[in-house]
Amino acid sequence: MHILNNLTAFVTGAGSGIGKAIAHRYAAEGANVFITDIREDRLLAVADEIKQAGGKVAFQAGDLADENAVQSLIDTCRKQLGEIDILVNNAGILDNFMPAAEVSFDLWKRVMQVNIDGPFFTCHAVLPGMVERGSGIIINISSIGGLQGSRAGAAYTTSKHALIGLTKNIGFQYATKGIRCNAIAPGGVNTAITDGVQPSPFGYERLMSGIGSNIRSAEPAEIAGVALFLASPDASFVNGAVVTADGGWTAY
């Protein structure tokens, strides 16, 4: 039985890593999946994989930091696959592990634009339709960096804390409208998010001081399993929650 049969899911940052894994898992469970990423070449590859597996997928590249680009993505999804039942805000970038005294204003703004403005723009765009239909699911991919103080630099940490705040606000305020909004807080995951990172020596040293308590890193498919649960009827009473998926790292 396909538990997401005929539902339309909009997944950001789906060109690789966690977003790609979620797109594959949702498509395998019968969802019509719209994928977006800033890199079109990655989207083409993921879309081909999903189609070859028998799934239904559409895609468009775009910069989630741009409100107009986000609206264009939402409009394209609606035209090609219908109204959005499930929104997954996965796209995010790191901050070179810069501590507050070192992070540039440009880097701070870019991290905030992608990690919190983008999810706000997508939520703002889909919520009216969800309210009108009386149903909807929003899943925000935060991080244990949104729960703890030094899993990344100042900008990333702040943005992921903010995303959890947005999650809880939407979850409570729209609960009576048939809408659920939850967050996943992964620990270390084997993705390409650190590619090209040029870390601050001081910030990286402070970050690594606690790395010894990390049991292991997850594979993206393990986080996709949590995202599938939160999108499924089995999670009907889970709302405004943060599901930590870190192998027990923060339990130390």
CATH number at residue 49: 3.40.50.720
39 part of a folded domain: yes
Find out whether 52 and 58 touch, Cβ atoms under 8 Å: no
Residues 6 or more apart in contact with residue 211 via CB below 8 angstroms = none
92 part of a folded domain: yes
Q: How far apart are CA 14 and CA 44, in angstroms?
A: 11
Q: How far apart are CA 202 and CA 99, in angstroms?
A: 8
The DSSP letter of residue 12 is: E
49 part of a folded domain: yes
Q: Find the radius of gyration of the CA atoms of the chain.
A: 17
pLDDT at 212: 81
Tell whether the model's pLDDT for residue 57 goes beyond 90. Answer: yes
Q: Buried (b) or exposed (e) across 34-43, using 16+ Cβ within 10 A?
A: bbbbbeeebb
Tell whether the model's pLDDT for residue 1 goes beyond 70. Answer: no
Q: How far apart are CA 225 and CA 228, in angstroms?
A: 5
163 part of a folded domain: yes
Split at pLDDT 50, 70, 90, the class of 111 is: very high
For the chain, strand residue ranges (E) read 8-12, 32-36, 56-59, 86-89, 136-141, 179-186, 242-245
The DSSP letter of residue 240 is: S
The DSSP letter of residue 113 is: I
Q: How far apart are CA 178 and CA 189, in angstroms?
A: 32
Residues 6 or more apart in contact with residue 13 via CB below 8 angstroms = 19, 36, 37, 90, 91, 92, 141
Q: What is the pLDDT of residues 145-156, one digit of tens each?
A: 999 988 889 999
1 part of a folded domain: no
Q: What is the pLDDT averaged over residues 182-192?
A: 92
Tell whether the model's pLDDT for residue 213 goes beyond 80. Answer: yes
3 part of a folded domain: no
Tell whether the model's pLDDT for residue 197 goes beyond 80. Answer: no
Catalytic residues: 156
Find out whether 88 and 139 touch, Cβ atoms under 8 Å: yes
Task: Give the domain extent around 214.
Answer: 8-245
The H or E element that residue 225 is part of is helix 220-231
Average pLDDT, the chain: 95
Q: What is the pLDDT averaged over residues 106-132?
A: 98
pLDDT at 201: 83
pLDDT at 21: 98
Q: What is the pLDDT averaged over residues 18-47?
A: 98
131 part of a folded domain: yes
Tell whether the model's pLDDT for residue 18 goes beyond 80. Answer: yes
Please give the tally of structural domains in the chain.
1
Q: What is the pLDDT averaged over residues 87-103?
A: 95
Tell whether the model's pLDDT for residue 204 goes beyond 90. Answer: no
pLDDT at 2: 93
Predicted TM-score of the model (pTM): 0.95
pLDDT at 71: 97
2 part of a folded domain: no
